[in-house]
């Protein structure tokens, strides 16, 4: 095989096809052209990324080996903010689906989350996102509100799962087998997907709230307790979406 007679574009077409051979890779390694070596590095990066993402399906594969083929990942976004709902998502992915850059949503840039959100919504077997609003959070506390959201997200899936993988939080009243995984959004593909759906959906909601309550700057901090946000609360008081039982809001109201 003489790669020197091939253009870089032709080589790229072969390299990123399913038919690339070890002979082709061996010849590419010998090609001294800078563009060819850059192409090889690009290929190696993608292969490493594929291996990393594939490793995220360990829990899902274990479940399949146990006879559970519709595995839902469950995660939340927004437990800590002073305003807005907690968002909880559930996602069932095809086993081994390759989603480039899939990871815990907190480790991703906004643009990467948005891209992955679209891919997940297009390729997932089933997805759901629910909100538990600030009023409910104040009534039953954030922990119980998050648990309620997780049950609701699982129930809302159009394809019912036969097992659930949950980020950190135990769900004692599940009607299907469940497994709580500490830092599961970095260990399970399904939980990572759910974390992205929850984060993107909540961020979009808070951007909309910014249009209703522009004085608080919700589109910038998404309701978290930044200096800018706390100063706005002191100046303008609380909005209908603020969590009144969260500090420092609770003490500000008491005083």
- Asked whether residue 203 is assigned to any structural domain, the reply reads no
pTM of the full predicted structure? 0.91
Q: Are residues 250 and 176 in the same domain?
A: no
- Whole-number Å distance between alpha carbons of 68 and 71: 7
Is the CB of residue 188 less than 8 Å from the CB of residue 71? no
Number of domains composing the chain: 3
Q: Are residues 74 and 167 in the same domain?
A: yes
Question: Do residue 69 and residue 139 come from a single domain?
Answer: yes
Contact indicator for 77, 105 with CB cutoff of 8 Å:
yes
Are 28 and 118 within one domain?
Answer: no
Is 172 in the same domain as 241? no
Regarding whether 114 and 132 lie in a shared domain, the answer is: yes
Pull the structure tokens for residue 143. 């922990």
Are residues 115 and 63 part of one domain? yes
Residue 84 domain boundaries: 58-198
Answer for the pair 174, 85: CB distance below 8 angstroms, yes or no.
no
For 219, counting Cβ atoms within 10 Å of its Cβ (0-12 exposed, 13-18 middle, 19+ buried), the class is middle
One domain, residues 187 and 82:
yes
From first to last of its 255 residues, the chain has per-residue pLDDT tens of 667 777 778 777 777 776 777 887 777 888 878 888 888 888 889 889 999 999 999 999 999 999 999 999 999 999 999 999 999 999 999 999 999 999 999 999 999 999 999 999 999 999 999 999 999 999 999 999 999 999 999 999 999 999 999 999 999 999 999 999 999 999 999 999 999 999 999 999 999 999 999 999 999 999 999 999 999 999 999 999 999 999 999 999 998
Q: Are residues 81 and 190 in the same domain?
A: yes
Closest by alpha carbon to 56, among 181, 145, 148? 181
């Amino acid at each position: 095989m003489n790669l020197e007679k091939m253009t870089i574009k032709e080589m790229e077409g072969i390299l990123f096809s399913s038919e690339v051979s070890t002979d082709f890779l061996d010849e590419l390694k010998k090609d001294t052209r800078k563009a060819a070596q850059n192409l090889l590095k690009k290929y190696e990066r993608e292969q490493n990324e594929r291996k990393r993402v594939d490793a995220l399906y360990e829990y899902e594969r274990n479940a399949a080996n146990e006879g559970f083929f519709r595995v839902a990942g469950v995660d939340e976004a927004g437990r800590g903010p002073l305003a807005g709902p907690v968002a909880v998502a559930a996602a069932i992915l095809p086993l081994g689906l390759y989603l480039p850059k899939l990871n815990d949503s907190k480790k991703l840039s906004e643009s990467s989350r948005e891209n992955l959100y679209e891919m997940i919504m297009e390729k997932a077997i089933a997805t759901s996102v629910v909100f538990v609003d600030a009023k409910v959070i104040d009534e039953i506390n954030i922990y119980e509100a998050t648990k309620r959201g997780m049950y609701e997200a699982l129930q809302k899936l159009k394809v019912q799962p036969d097992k659930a993988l949950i980020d950190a939080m135990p769900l004692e009243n599940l009607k299907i087998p469940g497994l709580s995984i500490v830092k599961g959004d970095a260990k399970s593909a399904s939980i990572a997907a759910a974390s992205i759906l929850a984060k993107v959906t909540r961020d979009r909601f808070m951007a909309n709230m910014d249009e209703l309550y522009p004085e608080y700057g919700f589109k910038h901090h998404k309701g978290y307790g930044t200096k800018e946000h706390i100063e706005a609360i002191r100046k303008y008081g609380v909005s209908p979406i603020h969590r009144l039982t969260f500090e420092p809001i609770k003490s500000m109201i008491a005083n």
